[in-house]
Structure 1
Amino acid sequence: MMKESPWLTFISIFGTALAISFIMTIIISHQAMYKNIAPETARERTLYVKWVGVQDKLTESTQANGYLSLKTIRECFQSLEIPEAVSITSPAQSRLATVPGNPGERCFVLFTDDVFWKICSFNVLRGNLYTKAEFDAGIRKVVISEWLARRMFGTIDQVVGKTIQFSFITYTVCAVVADVTPRTTFSYAHAWVPFTAAGIPEIKGSENIMGHYKCMIVARSSSDFDEIRDEITRQTEQYNNTLVDHKVYFYDQPDTKYVEEMRFGPGMPNMQSIYLSAILPILIALLVPAINLSGLTLSRMQERVSELGVRKAFGSTRAGLLGQIVYENIVVSVISGMLGLLLSYWFLYLLKDSMFTSSTYFGMDVTAEVPVSALIRPEVFLIAFLFCSFLNLLSACVPAWRVSSIPIVESLKGE
């Protein structure tokens, strides 16, 4: 079959492969925003809060908005009883890292609490992460990435116990962890420091509602999200009752990971429009190539009506004819699937700057990366492969079934 129609066979294989690769590229780029990726291995049961609005109690007009203060987080989120854990972090902040004999390296530092290490699964290469006792005591310890250790010290060995400065504040290295991808937006950094040791000043205005922090709320199960939101509403009402002139507003937070990725600033994203814009390209990638390929396969089968009639005349059964068509389509589909898998990885690499960026890093010099764990999505490949194979098989088997049911003379005529 391939020798008789090499060009049509190439179009069929390449067209199916292209459809599969488009589907995989679109779905994987979206899944990278919310699926579990190390070290954020609890994304699918985590809610996120990073914006707070300050409203006047009398006029209910919004006076300011920004990140959360420790006071606001403690009153509205750390006091929750339903979640498994609540962790406080800062946004990633650019700092100059220096050690004696090294001119320094610009890097990103994340200020965290000790709970951060319990809900994020880092790969610890050397040393130990800072503990609750060390966090509470405000000891100036730091966990650094493998990349920063090699840039500063030339190795990851015998680094624990050495000192390093971030913007001229000295910290002692307590652990070295494997590098993390920027796609993990709540844990990405090159160094992690207890915020109790950082000396970050509070924002005193507006009753200390705003600050420099955000939080992750880890549920025991995603089915607890509604109950957690209800509890947050109650805690927020209690907190507002303690404020004199202001009240807080969380802009419909907490968010699931996907909504948090779509939120640019405190404004609530139009998720209906976002979902539609995400689904529409997938439908186009599914239907347009599939329809074209089905038409191509159908026309080829019509050309083979006489061949099938001859085979029937020499004793082939209906099951035998259909088995041959199924076998041929399986071979073509497998070749197409493997080619589509390779093309999808190539497209993801070429388009990584647009596919794997995040509004979290707006204005920051963060290079998009393709996390390997995000690429390995066999369920996505299987769905795309089965759908395209089904349409190709259907367009081939329908005329084959029709031919097998008509008189041999008519099929020999190619009618």
Structure 2
Amino acid sequence: MKNEIVAGRSFIAQDYKDVASVILLDQELANSLFGSAQEAVNQVIDVGGFSYRVIGVYTSDEAKTAKTFGIGGLPITTNISLANNFNMDEISDIVFRVNDTSLTPTVGPELARKLTEIAGLQQGEYQVADATAAFQEVQQLFGFITTIISAIAGISLFVGGTGVMNIMLVSVTERTREIGLRKALGATRANILIQFLIESMILTLLGGVIGLTIATGLTAIAGILLQGLIAGIEVGVSIPVALFSLAVSASVGMIFGVLPANKASKLDPIEALRYE
């Protein structure tokens, strides 16, 4: 989003030519220092022992995102003069923003070439770092990490489901006489099937609840630790994600409980009652 002047004016060519002692403030900093953007205009502030007159105030999304105290900007010629007065290093980087990000691959190299030409430096002295490309690389990295985590989660669910299935198969064997007695008293195959499916789902759902509780606790601890490092960050467990995880846990129990439940429902009541 383009920064907009909300009070006063922006820099003009004469400011750069005269190395003017003027400054632009972002709205957050202007409000903090003078109460409002309008009150900030024509005020004089001290920066490193030098006085600068506020000529304008602009909106700044970056300042809001970073949760900083505020941002001020000087004409580049004034900035260079200030750096020279303090024997500071030369300006290390310049940030440009284009309204149409699709133009970045074209505009970036052209800016580097033009700056190199103006400064009389050898070709390649100025380099372009495209934030969009960097962001895409980060997205690809997170996508890869997500794929790996998803694969690990899938394997974990399969292993866990197999364990539940084995437990239920053992349970069917140990409860053979109970199943035979229930069938002798009128329980249908569907009754037995549903009973063991529900038991399997409860088992995995209980595991899901325990896992979700641990995850919520760890997330809360991480949130407390991160707030001390990054101002304004909020960490928490999403309710839809939590409900989805519980639904997946129950589904795993139902899927892997089919074999034991089917085995239990097919037991012959007479043979089951004779089982020792």
Interval containing the TM-score (normalised by the shorter chain) = 0.5 to 0.7
Matched residue, 2:233: 371
Please, which of 219, 224, 242 is the counterpart of residue 381 of structure 1?
Answer: 242
Matched residue, 2:106: 234
Distance 1:301 1:292, change over 3 A: same
Q: Distance in 1 between matches of 2:79 and 2:72?
A: 11
Identity %: 12
Aligned-residue offset at 1:404: 1.5
Give structure 2 stretches of 5+ with no counterpart.
13-21, 85-90
| Amino acid in the other structure paired with 1:399 | P
Within-5 A mapping of 1:319-358: 319-351=190-222
8 A contact 2:197–2:261 mirrored in 1: no
Q: Distance in 2 between matches of 1:239 and 1:338?
A: 56
Q: How many correspondences in the alignment? A: 241
| Amino acid in the other structure paired with 2:107 | Q
8 A contact 1:294–1:395 mirrored in 2: yes
Does the alignment pair 1:188 with 2:49?
no
Distance 1:249 1:303, change over 3 A: same
Q: For 2:229, what is the secondary structure of its paired residue?
A: coil
Q: Distance in 2 between matches of 1:236 and 1:337?
A: 50
Matched residue, 2:254: 393
Which fold has the larger relative contact order, with Cα–Cα distance below 8 Å and residues 6 or more apart in sequence?
1
The CA RMSD measured in Å over matched residues stands at: 5.0
Q: Distance in 1 between matches of 2:268 and 2:231?
A: 61
Within-5 A mapping of 1:166-245: 187-196=65-74, 200-201=79-80, 211-214=92-95, 228=102, 231-236=103-108, 238-239=110-111, 242=114, 243-244=116-117, 245=122
Aligned-residue offset at 1:339: 3.9
Q: Distance in 2 between matches of 1:312 and 1:185?
A: 72
Q: Distance in 1 between matches of 2:208 and 2:219?
A: 16
Aligned-residue offset at 1:285: 4.5
With the length of structure 2 as denominator, give the TM-score of the two structures. Answer: 0.58
Higher strand share: 1
Matched residue, 1:119: none
Matched residue, 1:310: 181
Matched residue, 2:156: 288
Q: Distance in 2 between matches of 1:339 and 1:217?
A: 49
Q: For 2:191, what is the secondary structure of its paired residue?
A: helix
Please, which of 123, 128, 141 is the counterpart of residue 246 of structure 1?
Answer: 123
With the length of structure 1 as denominator, give the TM-score of the two structures. Answer: 0.42
Does the alignment pair 1:408 with 2:240?
no
Q: For 2:248, what is the secondary structure of its paired residue?
A: helix
Q: Distance in 2 between matches of 1:377 and 1:402?
A: 39
| Amino acid in the other structure paired with 1:388 | S
Distance 1:251 1:317, change over 3 A: farther
| Amino acid in the other structure paired with 2:70 | W
Higher helix share: 2
8 A contact 1:309–1:403 mirrored in 2: no
| Amino acid in the other structure paired with 2:123 | H
| Amino acid in the other structure paired with 1:246 | Q
Distance 1:388 1:345, change over 3 A: same
Work out which of the two has the higher radius of gyration on C-alpha atoms and give 1 or 2: 2
Matched residue, 1:259: 137
| Amino acid in the other structure paired with 2:106 | R
Q: Distance in 2 between matches of 1:377 and 1:338?
A: 15
Aligned-residue offset at 1:342: 3.2
